[in-house]
Structure formats: structure tokens, C-alpha cells
Amino acid sequence: MAESKYNSGIFDFESDEITPALRVDDRVLKTIIQDLYYPKSPYEFSVLGVEILGNVYEQFLGKVIRLTAGHQAKVETKPEVKKAGGVYYTPQYIVEYIVENTVGKLIAGKTPEEIAHIKILDPACGSGSFLIGAYSYLLRYHRDWYVRNLSFKKKALPKKYKEAVFQVKENEWYLTTAEKKRILLDNIFGVDIDQQAVEVTKMSLLLKVLEHESGESIDQQAKLGLEGVLPNLGDNIKCGNSLIGPEYYELGQQGSLFNEEEMRRVNVFDWNDDVKGFGGIMQRGGFDCVIGNPPYVRIQTMKEWASTEVEFYKKHFVAASRGNYDIYVIFVERALQLLNARGRIGYILPHKFFQAKYGQPLRELTATGKHLGKIVHFGDQQVFDGATTYTCLLFLDKAGNKSFRYDKVRDLNAWRISGDATDGKIHADKVSGSEWNFVIGPEASLFERMSEMPVKLEDITTGMFVGQQTSADTVYLFKEYQNENEDIVNVWSKELNAWIKIERAVLKPVVRSGNISRYSANPTALVLFPYEVRECTARLYTPTEMREQYPLAWAYLKQNKRLLEEREKGKFKDQQWYRFGRTQNLGMWEQPKLMIPYMITNLAAYYDKTDNFYFINVTTGGYGITIDETMFSYLYLCGLLNSRLLNFYLKRLSHNYPTTNRNYTIVQKSKKTLFLYLNAHL
């Protein structure tokens, strides 16, 4: 009965063997319904926007209900979502901005007839927030066009246009349900790998169709009997893997056989299939707009549970050809493939690919085609609630552009309210596959001149190494100590929660990231280092050497033997159980070097000539750098790194501008892209 009335697929239970057999007590339903209304509920659901309801459903897309052995229902995070670090929910103002700068740009100034066949796609639609945004934009555009032209061209307007809109009262007009259905079916399309998400998207869009409808108006349409009140979106919103087509099964012929469970998980999607995909649209050239917030999943994570898919990506996508990439770069390449000749992409995604090695193929792809249309760079401003993700808005055009607009947002709230940003145009010819470090405004000329300097830091470095990684800092690292200049030192063991004595000869001074300033360093801890270092090579002392030469240190290590053996799931259960977790760079710290902290507010470097200071870890420590002294001296380079000029350059390079209590990473970028001024006058 309900399906024949609404014709939307929501109430179609033909393929559902479970739901029709379920019986829910009326008293339970009554309680639920009463809880949704005043006075038990503080919300008036009849005036809530569809976007809010969609956000409610969105909270559960990463969840699955599992029945326990005790016949209890338990809500759990889906394994793939958990491993990916969760789901990022796009704020409404971001959705609206992307829609305005994609759909809005394409339809501006056009008639309903001219935009009747525009095709808008979200290839990872989730709960449908971007599709709802695009659909809402189209509805407003059509309504405003009809009302405006009815007022000025009433006699000349075709009958079908006059019948597409009706007036409720003065200055209040609505589109008819038939017109809303037409726009939805002709213009809005989506794909998601999660069937749950597909159903939520469909329902959100259908609720938008019903907006401003009443029970009476719905009954009136049903009585006409021409068609169901709602459209069936089975041909618009589909379930499948936007990145993987049927060619995936070719891998099975090369030794990887797929069972039914894996085939269901991968869920291949053929874009060119007339029934299962969007063959008709692809045959006509592709989509006009691709919008959305693609998934952010590091490929190292995917290798744990989707190794065959990773193999497929590498074979079929240029963007997946280098390094430990993030899957969003593939979604950008796929979007370009799906666009027609005049199409446009609007994505929110991390801007890490601007500088990361893995981003080089995608940078090359977009630069070669001159696809860049606009970038809104948020720097270290956080768009997503509860997640530290450095993002940008990326707008690409299938047709090439001679230049593109670049907006740098320093204050997210100011940008939301007034669009406040530093903006400018950049010529496409200046963009390549090399790292993207866009600077605009009065500083652009200086930054560009510095970027063109011929000598890079990597040209004169002989080594770059990170801090020691013990895998058990509570055992090896001592932040409190006494009598540090004597042969036996009193140290506080966090692991034992007690003062102990250790031989000074196996303790090394440790500097933390925050204890380095320009030209100076202050060690604040000691690390137990059971190694002998000669000519930058470290050798682990044998148990006999430790017992005979450093009995106090050896006794302490043996007290913690069980803990040290159990590191990394028992990996250290052998004769060298007391070694550090990582053996790289162990001997590099006892030599002249520059020390640069990992997280700082301003660029700072310290020349460690004879102190033999150590860093522990990367994030709490930093990097050591050795150079070819036949080219430059350590003191000269230290002076350059501590200069205001290089501080300016690195801050622009890392897209983190000087603000109170802001930190930024510098060295990973600086090794490849820090240019040195060699002119004496600088």
C-alpha cells in the first residue's frame, strides 16, 4: 500500500525476507512516537531542515550492529572505518561554498531549459550532504527564475514553466512536486560503497522533495493516480566502489582468487554499464560537476585489509604510482576521468599532497592539463570538528585554464562570515609537478626570488637523521636526575617509580624540541644508551660487557627484562632484548651537527660541535643534520637557518603563518625545498 502510494522504493519489501516478518508491539511504537513530540521532546521536527536529519543519520554510517553470543545487539565501528581513523563530516558552510563554486558557476545566467540535463555527481556520497546541497541550490535557482520571469514575461513564458511553480501567499512561492521530482531525477547522481549510505542519501533527497508538502497535498496527488508521490531513485543513487571496475577481476587470473565475501566487500562498479552504472551519461561525455568530500585513508592502512585493491590502484591510476599515498588522490584522478569537456570538480581534501612525495603524480597530472581553477587553502585552520586535518578546497576544470585563483585563509571564522582571505591569481605556466608552495600578495615576489636560488639544503647535506626510538621510554629515559657530572648518577625511573643509580658512561644528554632556541640548547633528560659508538657506528654492548663494565645499568635493565621483551608483541624475546626499538641512526649523534626541533613557533637551529646531544623520537625531539664542510661551514649555515629571512621563507613554505601558540613542522619540507642565499650581502 505504502509503496504504491509513494513509489520510491523505501517501502519495497519484495527482496527483504526479514522485515515483513517482524512484529513490533504497538505500545513500543506509541512510546517512541510520543517521545518525539512536545512535551517530551524539545525539538519541533516539522521545521528541521533535511540537512540536519541527514547529519543525524550520518553519525551512524560508520557503525554496524552485531549480535553477541548472549543475543544482545551491540553497536560497533566498522573495521574499515576504524582503521581509517573515522569518518569526517563536512560542515554545511563548506558544502554550500563548494556547490556555489561548481554548480553555481555552471548554471549562472542560464534558463531551466539550458540546464535541464546538467549532471551532478558525488562519487562517495555518504549520507548525501553534498547532493542535498546541490539539489537545494537547483531548487532555489529554478524557483527564483520562474518567479522572476513570471513577473516580467508572463505572457511569453511557456505553459510548462507556469505550471512548475505556485504561489502560497504574497512573496512566497514553491516549486510543484512534479518539478522537484524532475530536477532530482534529471540532475542528481551519487555512488557509495556502503549500501547503508546509499539508502540514507535516497531518503534525505526524498525528504527534500516532500519539503513544504502536507498530508492533504500528498493525498491529493495520490488520488490523481498518475504516478507515485515520490520518485524512485534506483537509477540515480547507486551502490558500488567508485574506484574499482570489473577489470579488478583480471587480478584473479594472475593468482589472486576472490571469494564471495571479498567480492561483496570490494563491490566493483562499472561506470559504463547502462543498468548498473551510468553508461548513458558516460556515452554522452560524462558529468558536468563532481563534488564531495572523498575518503581519507592512508595506503599503509589499506594494505592491512585490502592488499589486492592497493595492487589494483597502482596498476590503474597514475596518482597511485608513488609513495605511501592517501586514497583521496585517486578520487581526484577518477573525478577528472568522469567529467565531460566542460565539467568542474569541487572537493574538500587534505592539502598534504601539495608537498608530499606521493602527491607528485597528481600534481603533474593537474599541472599538465592546467586543470586548476581555484584553491582555498585553510593552512592550519581546522574545518572538521574533533579531527586535526589540514585541508583545502580544490576546484579543477576539465578544460585548461591560463590562470587560477588562490585564496589563503588565515582566520576561518572571518572567512565564513565575510569571505575574508588573502587572494590572488597565479599563472598556470608557473605550476608543475614539483612541490606546490603558492604565495600571493606583496610577499610573493620575494618568495619567488628565494625559490629560484640555485643551491638547496640537500645539495650540501651529508646526512639527516631523526631522534632515537627506544620503544620503551619509561625504562630508558630519565627526566629527573642528580649528580650528573659524577661517575654514578641518581636518576628517577618512571617505570619503577623509584630513584636508582646508573653509570654516567652509558647515559647520554637529551634535548627536547622545546629546549632549543637560536644558537643554544638545554638538555633536560638523560637516556640509558647501551651502545658503544665509534666513527658514527653504534654497537650494542654484549651482556657480558654490560655486566662487567656497567653492573648498575645491567641490573636495572634486567629488572625490566620482561617489559622490554614484550615490546611489539614479543619481537624482542632474544639475546639482545635490551636493544632500542629502532636501530637506525644510533651512531649519528656523537659528531658535529646541526640540531633542528620538530615543532617550533619560529625557525631555530643549534650547532652542536662537541656536546654530543641526543634527540629522542621525532615529535618530541627533532632532526640532526650533517653537511659537507668543504662547501660551507656549520656556523655559516646555522646563521642562515636562524635568520629572519629564512624564518619568513619556511613559514610561507609550510603554510603556517606566525600567530600566537601556533606550531609548524619545518625540516621535512626544508630538506627538499629550503634554498640557501649564498650572496654575501644577505
**pLDDT digit string (tens) for 314-364?**
999 999 999 889 999 999 999 999 999 999 999 999 999 998 999 999 999
Taking residues 461-470, report their average pLDDT: 92
Q: Helices 177-187 and 195-209, interaxial angle, to 10°?
A: 150
- pLDDT class for 2, splitting at 50, 70, 90? low
Go through the chain and tell me how many residues it has. Answer: 682
- Residue 262 CA to residue 628 CA, distance in Å, equals 53
Mean pLDDT is highest, among 190-204, 220-234, 649-663, for 190-204
Beta-carbon neighbour count of residue 218 at 10 Å?
16
Taking residues 163-167, report their average pLDDT: 85
So what's the pLDDT on residue 253? 47
Cell of 490: 641518581
Q: What contacts 262, CB < 8 A, 6 or more positions away? A: 308
pLDDT at 16 over 70: no
Is 214 a domain residue?
no
Least Cα distance to 320 among 362, 370, 348, 284 occurs for 362
So what's the pLDDT on residue 255? 44
Integer angstrom CA distances of residue 523 from 294, 469, 479, 520 = 44, 17, 10, 10
Is 114 a domain residue?
no
Q: Is the pLDDT higher at 642 or at 59?
A: 642
Cell of 363: 600534481
So what's the pLDDT on residue 659? 33
The range of the structural domain enclosing residue 563 comes to 461-673
Residues 32-66: b if buried by 16+ CB within 10 A, e if exposed: eeeeeeeeeeeeeeeeeebbebbbebbeebbeeee
Is 561 a domain residue?
yes
- Residue 187 CA to residue 364 CA, distance in Å, equals 32
Q: To 5 degrees, how large is the angle CA 73–CA 79–CA 80?
A: 140
- pLDDT class for 677, splitting at 50, 70, 90? very low
pLDDT at 442 over 90: no
- pLDDT class for 290, splitting at 50, 70, 90? very high
Please answer whether residues 476 and 556 qualify as being in contact, where contact means their C-beta atoms are separated by less than 8 angstroms: no
Maximum Cα–Cα distance across the chain: 105
Please answer whether residues 384 and 391 qualify as being in contact, where contact means their C-beta atoms are separated by less than 8 angstroms: yes
pLDDT at 10 over 80: no
- pLDDT class for 36, splitting at 50, 70, 90? confident
So what's the pLDDT on residue 125? 94
So what's the pLDDT on residue 228? 66
Mean pLDDT is highest, among 73-87, 180-194, 415-429, for 180-194
Is 383 a domain residue?
no
- pLDDT class for 145, splitting at 50, 70, 90? very high
pLDDT at 609 over 70: yes
Please answer whether residues 536 and 511 qualify as being in contact, where contact means their C-beta atoms are separated by less than 8 angstroms: no
- Residue 476 CA to residue 493 CA, distance in Å, equals 8
pLDDT at 403 over 70: yes
The sheet with strand 525-528 has its strands ordered as: 477-478, 525-528, 507-510
**Element spanning 345, H or E:** strand 339-350
So what's the pLDDT on residue 661? 33
- pLDDT class for 646, splitting at 50, 70, 90? confident
Q: What contacts 353, CB < 8 A, 6 or more positions away? A: 325, 326, 328, 329, 359, 362, 363
The 10s digit of each residue's pLDDT in 499-558 is 999 999 999 999 998 889 889 999 999 999 999 999 999 999 999 999 999 999 999 999
Is 636 a domain residue?
yes
The 10s digit of each residue's pLDDT in 531-540 is 999 999 999 9
pLDDT at 663 over 70: no
pLDDT at 676 over 50: no
Is 605 a domain residue?
yes
Please answer whether residues 379 and 373 qualify as being in contact, where contact means their C-beta atoms are separated by less than 8 angstroms: no
pLDDT at 206 over 80: yes
Least Cα distance to 495 among 556, 578, 421, 428 occurs for 556
Positive or negative, the CA dihedral 513, 517, 518, 523 is: negative
So what's the pLDDT on residue 7? 55
- Residue 630 CA to residue 646 CA, distance in Å, equals 22
Taking residues 242-248, report their average pLDDT: 93
Rounded to a whole number of angstroms, the distance between the first and last alpha carbons of the chain is: 82
So what's the pLDDT on residue 69? 73
So what's the pLDDT on residue 82? 55
Cell of 122: 558525488
So what's the pLDDT on residue 452? 74
**What does pLDDT average to over the chain?**
86
Is 376 a domain residue?
no
So what's the pLDDT on residue 647? 84
Q: Is the pLDDT higher at 263 or at 103?
A: 103
- When divided into structural domains, the chain yields a total of 1
DSSP-derived letter for residue 8 is S
Is 88 a domain residue?
no
Beta-carbon neighbour count of residue 438 at 10 Å?
19
